[in-house]
Structure 1
Amino acid sequence: MSTRLVRILGRTVRQQRESRALTQRQLAELAGVSQATVARIERGDRIPSVPALESLLAAMGGQLTVAVEPLDAHLDAELAQLATRPLAERLDDLNLDRLLDRLGDLPNAITGATAALLQGAPLPVDAPELAIRWRDSAQLTRWLEKAYGQRWNARWNEFGGPHLEPEESGEHRWRTRYGEIRAVMCDELPETVEVRHGGRSYRVVPLVQLDVTDPRTAALLHRYREGQLRPRTGHHPA
């Protein structure tokens, strides 16, 4: 079972539970499993057995179904759906403007999928991605402390635990009172271009540079461009 599928199953259980206003303990009691089992499945760090998964879903009035789809079809569908959403709405979801305002004079550049989004590529973005210089890491740490930051703990698949400082081992990903932030630590800030949206100016890493320096974003951009070139079904030329 792939890591992606484990995460999808865990997210599905969590969404179903929260939609019914159940706590993990309540769901565990209904399904006849331990709360720790529910927590591990929802975090995606345990491969659930089929009987356990069926018990959890049955306790919430649901059942497991299995389907086969072309590889990465889920990603194509997500890109198509994101392309229909207004940019302003997606930026609001990210709390991007608020985060940038609160960062004050901390030097940064918008990079990754966030930069691509601002340049018209509707890629999936979980949190703003900023390039920040190593020599500004102490300033970043002070800001994180004031913003009640919590570092991402990959071991437990949740925020909290690791030291805030970027120099400490761990992903450069924090949750703050202003939303989540992801940092790409670098010696010097990358070259940027200015993009304006809604009366605001953003300094973003250009797409041509992301194609070369950011493999994950480059792969998403390639997928998006392929989708733009792919013939639309249901359309017949006259």
Structure 2
Amino acid sequence: MTVGRLATVLGATLRRERQARLLTQRTVASRAGVGQATVARIEQGAQTPDLALVERLFAAMGRQLTLGVEDLDAHVDRRIAELATRPFAEQLVTTDIGQFRRHVDGISHVFDGPTAALLQGAPLPAPGVHVALLWSEADAIDDWLTRKYARRWMDRWQEYRHIPVDPREPYPHRWQTVAGEIHARMCDELPRSIEVRHGEQHYRVVPLAELEIVDPGTAGLLHRYRELSAGQPGAG
């Protein structure tokens, strides 16, 4: 389990337990002796707390964590299988696609990676929204991110921080904004795309065949999805 994966699991578990007990972030934070912003960052998966803080946060809710082990990436297969049982409208809710579409203005983009795959019917886990953007629009992207109160992901600390959001700065092209979590692939030209339609909405997406060539991560997820689908009764 990577640090990023651990942060996501801890955050989701903390949020689920807190909401089940009808507690606010402020209440849990006060009981644990930390700020409300710390609880918010942990729930978002933007900060991995140390073990002592984990214990305090769950103790503040009268709970404690237990540990277990499983095959590497077994959670990915479970998540794909879970998504495959849901109608597309419900799958879409697990991403920031709708939120991104409501906020984006004047920025050329094509949906990329697992987001593009999801929009083409492959239910891949796709937190946030993955897009291809243009280097030639870096000024406009910088301005847009600033207006959307963006924080930038830092691999070193495994969290989002208030550092320069300009895509030309030497940091990952990953931001947390009021338009959702954005994972960008910066390009000299937008990749070849096709249009898919869901209801009244139209989306420009990188085709699956192209993703399998240029995006090893998404290609691996697609392979897992097809293997799982082939093992289902009536598949093929």
| TM-score band, normalised by shorter chain | 0.7 to 0.9
* Paired AA for residue 124 in structure 1: P
2:32 matches 1:28: yes
1:94 matched to 2:91? The reply is: no
- TM-superposed CA distance for 1:109, in Å, is 1.0
Point out where structure 1 has 5 or more consecutive residues left out of the alignment.
30-34
**Code of the aligned partner of 2:227:** E
Deviation at 1:25, TM superposition (A): 3.7
In the other structure, the counterpart of 2:3 is: 3
2:113 is the counterpart of 1:112: yes
Residue-pair matches, total: 225
CA 1:95–1:69: 2 relative to 1, 3 Å = closer
Distance (whole Å) between structure 1 residues aligned to residue 25 and residue 103 of structure 2: 35
Q: TM-score, normalised by structure 1?
A: 0.78
8 A Cα contact 1:9 1:44, kept in partner: no
The one-letter code of the counterpart of 1:203 is R
Write out per-residue CA displacement over residues 117-145 of structure 1, whole angstroms, 9 at most, x where no aligned residue: 01100011111111011111111112223
The alignment's C-alpha RMSD in Å is 3.1
- Tell me how far apart the structure 1 counterparts of residues 85 and 200 of structure 2 sit (CA, whole Å): 22
Q: Which residue of the other structure, out of 48, 51, 55, is the alignment partner of 2:51?
A: 48
Find the aligned partners of 2:182 and 2:119 in 1 and give their Cα distance: 16
Q: 1:46 to 1:87 in 2, by over 3 A?
A: same
Give the Cα separation in 1 of the matches to 2:89 and 2:143: 30
Instruction: Call closer, same or farther: CA 1:97–1:26 in 2, change over 3 Å.
Output: closer
Residue identity over aligned pairs, in percent, reads: 42
Are 2:136 and 1:132 aligned?
Answer: no
Tell me which moved more, 18-27 or 186-195.
18-27
Residues 13 and 57 in structure 1, CA contact (< 8 A), matched pair in contact too: yes
Give, in angstroms, the shift of residue 217 of structure 1.
Answer: 0.8
Letter in 2 for 1:28: A
Q: 1:147 is matched with which residue?
A: 148
Any unmatched runs of 5+ in structure 2?
none
CA distance in 1: counterparts of 2:63 and 2:103, whole angstroms: 43
Q: Shift of residue 148 of structure 1? A: 2.9
Q: Which has more radius of gyration? A: 1
Distance in 2 (alpha carbons) for counterparts of 1:55 and 1:46: 10
- Residue range with higher mean Cα deviation, 144-153 or 4-13: 4-13
Aligned partners of 1:211 and 1:217 also within 8 Å: yes
Query: Once structures 1 and 2 are overlaid, which stretch shifts more, 94-103 or 195-204?
Result: 94-103
Aligned partner letter, 1:3: V
* 1:32 alignment partner in structure 2: none
CA drift of 1:156 comes to: 4.4
Does the aligned pair in 1 maintain the 2:193–2:207 contact within 8 Å? yes
In the superposition, the TM-score normalised over structure 2's length comes to 0.79
Q: Distance in 2 between matches of 1:55 and 1:102?
A: 37
